[in-house]
Structure 1
Amino acid sequence: MEEFLLRWGPLLLAAFGLIYSIASSRGKAANDRVAKIETKLEEKASATTVQVVVGKLDIVEDRVSKVEGELKHLPDRDITHRLELAISKLEGRIEVMDERLQPVAEMAKRVQNRMFEEVRP
């Protein structure tokens, strides 16, 4: 066993040292990258920026609430359909009424013409 350690010990120790140095340098590089990202995030998400975004969000929430309130007063699909049907019924009734009133209008014209003829001697 001593012979094995004497022969391979320095090589194993050097290999472990190499692996440790590579791992620690990669870890340091990763830590540096993480630190850069954190500083960028801190710059972008500063307190004033967050306050501005929160203020804008509050304004948008208020506007959405107003729109929702206005939409509650509008008729839904069923009511709109019923209104369309009622309007079409009224259009039909008005057309019938127009047809029925045409003879009355003609009679009124004849009466008016007769009255003008009687006034003119």
Structure 2
Amino acid sequence: MEMLAIIPWVSGAISIITLLTLVKNMLSSGEKALAERVSKSEQEANARLAKVEQKAIEYDRRIQAIESDMKHLPDRDAVHQLQVTMERIGGRLDTMDERLKPIAATNHRLQEFLLEQAQK
């Protein structure tokens, strides 16, 4: 008789174990989907990170090229020195132009004289 008394308890325990297993499976199915979504998100994040790293490398190379080009350009003091020198040259050219005007006038008169002599 003891066996008949234990059977409802064993049956109840098996039902409880089955119910707990069913609940565990239901809850873990969401975990699997969540784990898949997290894995997919991590892969996408890694892909984006790789793209960002490639862009950073590209920008670094471009910056280095610009910096090397800028090293050859004159600095502020050199540009100022060039401006001063150009002003000086411009002044000398103006002076030379004033000095050449009388010579040009003389050459013009000489040409006119020679043309008059050639016509006679």
Normalised by the size of structure 1, how large is the TM-score?
A: 0.63
Match of 1:68 in 2: 67
Match of 2:88 in 1: 89
Match of 2:3 in 1: none
- Superposition RMSD in Å: 2.4
Pick closer, same or farther for the CA change 1:100–1:54 going to 2, 3 Å.
same
Paired residues, what number? Answer: 85
2:74 aligns to what SS in structure 1?
Answer: coil
Report deviation, 1:43.
4.7
Report deviation, 1:47.
1.7
In the TM superposition, 1:14-33 aligns within 5 A as none
Ranges in structure 1 where 5+ consecutive residues have no aligned partner:
1-34
Q: Percent of aligned positions with the same letter in both sequences?
A: 32
Match of 2:12 in 1: none
Pick closer, same or farther for the CA change 1:109–1:44 going to 2, 3 Å.
farther
Match of 2:118 in 1: 119
Match of 1:108 in 2: 107
Match of 1:52 in 2: 51
Spell out, residue by residue over 1:19-78, the C-alpha distance to the aligned partner (whole angstroms, 9 max, x if none): xxxxxxxxxxxxxxxx9xxx5xx4586221111111111110010001001100000011
Pick closer, same or farther for the CA change 1:44–1:96 going to 2, 3 Å.
farther
Match of 2:15 in 1: none
